[in-house]
Chain A
């Protein structure tokens, strides 16, 4: 309750003093990725850190893998269960979890836009980047769930 009030006060003030959630290097390095998750969810794009989406988004994603953003990403039942359990246990619980982002996309979450508002529009369109969802194009250790600033290299 108190926390929510604080946040809305901050929002009213334009929140210039609010630290971005990811300013903390440790937070940006995240939890170690479950091997099964890395294997099944890291082939077509980086295995996204579980704390970048709320549990409700992960749940929707996991039950719709046959129509996963335009592709078939189905996994067998045992893998689905193992991954879902782990995602659910490690999903975002902080303020970014209050609302599932549009389409359950990390890249459409307000915090994502904030963190990336200094990336030039032309950079997103480079062939080596192609999609904002291609985190590894700039976050060189994205495959290990590491998004800390020291491991960012912007392609040109």
Chain B
């Protein structure tokens, strides 16, 4: 892909080795959270798979995009209550993926609504790796 993707992958690789030692991630940046999810999978996170996962429906009424938008760089809207939701992509909303417990809580709730189960670590890694490719001015 492009240069940003490359540097990101490199960064992940560094972080991967860093977290392998510590195991539990109580992380503070999106890249650290991503490294935590990715550390438990065998394959490198795929932004492309993440984008598909995010936009596909999984046998139920909603996809992730139903509330967050197809490209979550803008304010989303809750599919049933209509309440606005801050952009999910970290480059557009500074607090996103900076609190591991908060991210975990919402993955749990939202995956349950969309897939009827929890998301795997690999699925979370794919989604977050895609969200991190979304940058202003693209």
Contacts and interface: CB of A to CB of B under 8 A. Distances in A.
Contacts of B108: 72, 74
A130 B112 CA distance: 23
Nearest to A133: B81
A129 B81 CA distance: 8
Interface residues of A, number: 21
Given A134-B83, A136-B83, A45 B78 contact: yes
A133 B105 CA distance: 23
A73 interface: yes
B81 A131 contact: yes
A80 to B, nearest CB: 13
B82 A131 contact: yes
Q: Which of A46, A71, A73, A133 has the most CB of B within 10 A?
A: A71
A78 to B, nearest CB: 12
Nearest to A73: B109
Contact of A130 (B82, B105, B110, B113): B82
Interface of A: 43-46, 69-76, 127-131, 133-134, 136-137
Interface of B: 77-78, 80-83, 105, 108-110, 112-113
A-B complex: 8 closest residue pairs judged by Cβ atoms: A130-B82, A72-B112, A134-B82, A45-B81, A72-B109, A134-B81, A71-B113, A45-B83
Given A45-B83, A131-B82, A133-B81, 13 more contacts: A44-B78, A71-B113, A72-B108, A72-B110, A72-B112, A73-B109, A74-B108, A75-B105, A129-B82, A130-B82, A131-B80, A134-B81, A136-B83
